[in-house]
Chains A and B, each alone.
Chain A
Amino acid sequence: MKERTVIHLEVNGKAYDLILYKDVFPHHTLAYTLRETLNLTGTKIGCDHGACGACTVLINGKPILSCLTLTIECDGKTITTIEGLGNPEKGELHPLQESFIKHTAFQCGFCTPGIIMSLKALIDERESVSEEDIKEALSGHFCRCISHYHVLEAVKDVIKRRVS
């Protein structure tokens, strides 16, 4: 009998063992697995071809496009999605989420989870962050409502609070 292959993922602090050819297939993207297999629909699929940023999640703290990443490539990886920010069990929000609410840094909200994940990676990685850094980090995110200006305000607010 063929030995079964298991893909181990840690998603938002929870361990998942996905059996190959049962829970996960070689062609499944991480975006598909998160949304359809694990029911974590906070991660959005906009273009499904790596050009809009809506599906951005963190793998080991780094932002990646989950629509261009195969789940089988993620064995042993730690994944964070929008559902894993703050402390959902206690109802606590991440400072970025709080600031997005305060500044209404979204309109339709479809691109928001991806944008927040990229920003989390940015502010976790760097002590000091300039406006240019923020724009660079978000340059691959397609926001059509033009909420860019409020997003910049929201991030700068978080950085300012962190400094003080």
Chain B
Amino acid sequence: MRKIFAEKLTELAEKNRHVVLLSGDIGNKMFDDFKEVAPNRFFNCGIAEANMIGVSAGLALNGFRPFVYTIAPFATVRCLEQIRVDLCYHNLPVVIVGTGSGLSYAELGPTHQMLEDISLLRSFPNMTIVCPCDPRETDLVISQSFNRNSPMYIRLGKKGEPVLHNNDFEIGKSITIREGYDICLITTGTMLKNVLDIAETLGKVGIKAHIEHFHTVKPIDKESLTKIFNNFKVVATIEEHSLIGGLGSIVSEVYVDGDFEKIKILRFGTDDKYLSKTGSKEYMLKAYGLDYDDIVKQVEGVFK
């Protein structure tokens, strides 16, 4: 995903003189082509994220379209107040691209894992949050970010993600990935790949799962959620993010605020804890409470 980001942005920088790229001392070589195309519009801001956000605000105030790139926790919570004041309060078109979100960098430990970003950033007025599921969506969200004039956070995985679908993509509109009628599995970002596996497994025991991918978690597609709440008796949210304040919370909020029949909502996400133990992404997902066998078992339980 990060490779596509660099390629797409280079392509856009060639066409648009206002594209500026700020990197927090990462992406060695990844941005060589960008630097070639727009040498005076690339800034290595060093390991100084608070300043990087402020600088992006200054560039945006003067008409540029800055993209700020670094590892998700440093792109977001490290400089949270600068995002709040400099970008969201001023409502500036700066795109923050956080790579290695969720447990993409599981082996690097909790300092580099990012399971609270959606929760924190979505409370800021004017902020749009998009979690693409694959390289193709990454490409499309970068292009479409130009249609908006407000801050955006793009939550990326890392590298080597497969393309998961070929459906139309529009910021703010959810995508039906798989049709089904017993349960609606709601997900976002790279977790979609795992949710496809879960739906497959559920199919084997006779549960036909629908999958709806909400790449845009803010603003959430309420129209799509309304349809889901009216058509399904069981809904499950599955996300690579804390259960506090993420997609599961967003879906629950829309449900509570609406006037819907009683349905069952299951929420799957990471537990409210930090783990010093480390391991592969699969291991860490389980350790944080996102165990697929358990998800399947719980869903089955609802239908027994």
A and B interact: no
Interface residues, chain B, with chain A CB atoms under 8 Å away: none
Interface residues, chain A, with chain B CB atoms under 8 Å away: none
